[in-house]
Structure 1
């Protein structure tokens, strides 16, 4: 990614392209996709689209691009959040919004505690907030307030994950850091004990996922980054256990590490629980299944069914007749453990073979279909937007002084 610094007073609003996202229920009872402010859910038990119910006083559904959508570990909760500064918690049994929390800033990451009692979310100023759900019983909780849990120093937090044993919460940021924090017994009082820092990436950390076994209940974490690597960490010590140059393996980087076609940042990754397979999405392809023109913006693996769900698409694609678009694909056979990965039988499912079939695809993708060239253009626009958001900009001394003088928080303080 090339870094193009903004000029005085320039706004990056026009580059805020939002990727399409996908989330799958832990036992694949439903599948959710977010495209811009639209949250589309398909119930595979009823084989029908879900009608969401939101009676919160702050307004129904989302009004701006959703940046995070994920299920809780037990599948009873679904959380969506994004640029409208709203965090919405949905019951997957009634599909009612049971809690809406207003964030001070735009939301960039979300995590749900393993017991479903807490929702944590991060904003673009580097603060992680926590909400106590009291009892995740599907009843509407009114007037919930978030309190600070921890913070990174003025750095956009890109990913939040609870460890499999629930003892740690991991946070990653655009300043190359991964922080493992002990999740306290009274989290509403804040999390003050840092277990470790996992340091080694040379660009922003974009995503995290856990691998675990019975011998290591806290799990190991894998991370993806803008430096085109996937790294394996021991969170207890912060030690780097392994690293994979996925861009080079995919043929996107030369042997000297320089760009072949484009900067091949890792945009998403997921794994099956035992770590026998990690699927990685680059800005050019899905490494685990080889080449192709399908460039995923989000991945989700369902270990109970052995399916890898992928979506490509964006919203706010300016200058196009289709500002929001999405396409879903599914790969089978990802949960087959075998010491020889070459013997895995991965197969792309046809539309009628996907759970829910064409009804699911129509619901998650929308009724319109677009050509391959449109999705390629969307991928390029998303790459630029991701660079503008996560690659730290370098300013001259003059520009830095100008930005300090015109900071909004200083203006507010002066008026007071």
Structure 2
């Protein structure tokens, strides 16, 4: 969309630079990323950025105005965790880069979550793009690295000793996001701990480090609670639903409260119309909608072409939504003259005493397939995978 930066990047790009780019990430983290990193950043105009912010601010206003009881309805009873908080610590919001009926490039809301994303990784990714392609630095995120670090440290570590704060995940070494865990450890000085290693004595939680039992006082939670039930023979000492003397960053209930559950309740010109499946009106055409389970992750269970037979067969219709289809516009030209589509995730933090969240970073995802998840791309495609968006003047 910013032809000046796109043309310069494509002129400077080479497979050698891409290999060097990935090698820098490997050197900084000590491991290979387990997901595909796009060769290219996403270049977008300040005008488009303003549209993103306008939509996000409206959505934040609408969420803040929702009754407490409405949000509580989103939490499955078997997943309700005690000691909820009045607002989440994280807020992420995904927009597709689309084209309007009058030909304007505009964002369209895809999803939103009160769950941490790849905050530490995305910061390093942005910095690495600027290392390999110095000209990009003139449109990089204006927030200095130390300020970014201070925000995350205040939010996640707070006033605690970092050794009493853990990044909690289930089998973290098997997760695709392991590289983000490593960068988070380096950034904040905290440990990544598997849920199966957490010990519980009364209301206190502990983990072991170098033969020492260390109390856990704050949990930077990366566990998707409802996915635990799908792991066969999982044995843990600590059940999220139990009372514990620990501070959640962010509280697990928010994963459900700010989710696809909210999509039918939101209104904005950049928010596609959505319905709960059991409330889908007869006047609408099913062909114009995408079927999504409320509580899936990474695109699992999404049906781009639902039929009446499929929707009629679903018993728990209240746990599904139908979202009006949007068309991602292929506008990001690669070195072969082919075009990729993209999705932008805005990464906010929400401090406990703040009225509104603070935008720290973004995450870009590029694709040439029908779905943005890179698993759906051809293996030989380029300009696909995890990326970062840079905003500048044309």
Q: TM-score if structure 2 supplies the norm length?
A: 0.28
Higher share of residues assigned strand: 1
Higher share of residues assigned helix: 2
Kindly indicate whether structure 1 or structure 2 has the higher relative contact order, using CA contacts under 8 Å at least 6 residues apart: 2
